[in-house]
Amino acid sequence: MNLNYPNGKKYKPKELPIDASLKKRKNGSYSNRGMTLEEDLNETNQYYRERKIAVIHKKPTPVQIVQVDYPNRSAAVIKEAYFKLASTTDYNGVYKGRYIDFEAKETQNPTSFPLKNFHQHQIEHMEEVMDQGAICFVILRFTKFEQVYLLEAQHLLNFWNRMMNGGRKSITKEEIEQKGYHIPLGFQPRIDYIKIIEQL
């Protein structure tokens, strides 16, 4: 039976945005093809917020605004702006009162994770928040295998320092498997990193 509103308008079950995004996936499978790591994490964070598990947001892209036009009767238009280098990581928020901070990166490289995905400012930020007792980590995705890992920031810093001391400019996949935690891709949430955090 189709229900109508009293005004005759058809009743349509409200679709959650989270379901809408699932449509993007081919063949009705929950495969990750076509979803970026950022989209998966946005979906995951929305899931956490809706269920009051944690409140984590991606920070807006930092932009240096140079020129803004104010046309009559319409919204201000930014006519000239430049991307700025982020001075922090992209994601932060709260889980059971604790401060959570992380960066998420993906690579096409099948065997190692290039450290050029991070920059000095972010590494320093991670050190600072760890000093303050934050839960800090990175989420790394090998896109070829759709494999996602959580690596605690302390390990990333060790690999970073190895590079700064003349060592290799990447983390091998083996090292990530050894020091990090594999996060199996799920349906809802897609990348259940809080589950790993709970165990740490």
Q: Which residues make up the interface to its own copies (CB under 8 A)?
A: 49, 52, 54-55, 57, 59-63, 65, 75-84, 87-88, 92-101, 125, 128-129, 131-134
Instruction: Quote the distance between the C-alpha of residue 14 and its chain's center.
Output: 26
Task: Name 187's Cβ contacts closer than 8 Å, sequence gap at least 6.
Answer: 30
Rounded to the nearest whole angstrom, what is the least distance from the CB of residue 64 to its own copies in the complex? Answer: 9
Rounded to the nearest whole angstrom, what is the least distance from the CB of residue 129 to its own copies in the complex? Answer: 5
Closer CB to its own copies, 56 or 171, in the complex: 56
Q: Is 122 annotated as a binding residue?
A: yes
User: How many CB atoms sit inside 10 A of residue 27's CB?
Assistant: 7
Q: Is 192 annotated as a binding residue?
A: no
Closer CB to its own copies, 132 or 165, in the complex: 132
Closer CB to its own copies, 111 or 154, in the complex: 154
Strand ranges in the chain using DSSP code E only, listed in sequence order = 55-58, 63-69, 77-83, 91-95, 98-107, 112-114, 135-142, 147-152, 170-172, 181-183
Rounded to whole angstroms, what are the CA distances from 126 to 21, 129, 164? 31, 5, 16
Residues annotated within the binding site are 88, 90, 103, 122
Which residues carry a binding-site annotation for Mg(2+)?
88, 90, 103, 122
